[in-house]
Structure 1
Amino acid sequence: AAGDCIDTTGNSVGEALAILSMCALAVGGDTGLVHAARALGIPTVAVFGPTPSDVHLFGPRERAVSLGLSCSPCTVHGSQRCPLGHHRCLEDLDAERVASVCREVLA
């Protein structure tokens, strides 16, 4: 049903891919499952904070969302600690901005 969200935490990769294959939209961080959703042709919104979005080519039903802060990206593969100690690149990214990008992808 519209509005249903599925958390794939704890699922095997195969289970997660099976779940993704049935999704109308995939939203998540710069992770393997988000890129798998893209490979499966699922409309996708990928959230980028400390990692660069410009190393990826996005199709017509795929978008990257980020704040574009001057300190971001600060790492290629992600790290556990923000070098500036604040993680604003993700903490300040509000849900409405992500939802707006989701609406664009689904339009």
Structure 2
Amino acid sequence: IVAFILTAPEELFTGLSLVVRIAFPILFTLDIALRMYAFSPVLFFRDRTRLFEFLLVLIMDILAVIPQSVYDVHVVAFLLAFSFTGRLMHVIQSRQSLHL
């Protein structure tokens, strides 16, 4: 796998960059919009985790509009990893509060 990544054509990374820059922000924005509709905006923003996720998605949406030459794709990858870590911590805290 590592050898493939190191020798992969540049077009592969261009396609992956396109997915990271466009598809992920669209999916995450849709996710936030549906959850906001389901909970109502007032209840949605009461939870700190949802507020955190909303801010991350907002930043990702802003980065999707800005030309890629202004920033590095690693910024978006960092935001995705940061979001995943936040969600994982929320799951762990929820599990501890349930005493499972």
Of Structure 1 and Structure 2, the greater strand share is in 1
Q: Please state which band the TM-score falls in when normalised by the shorter chain.
A: 0.3 to 0.5
Q: Which has the higher contact order (CA 8 A, sep 6+)?
A: 2
Q: If the length of structure 1 is used for normalisation, what is the TM-score?
A: 0.32
TM-score, length of structure 2 as denominator length: 0.33
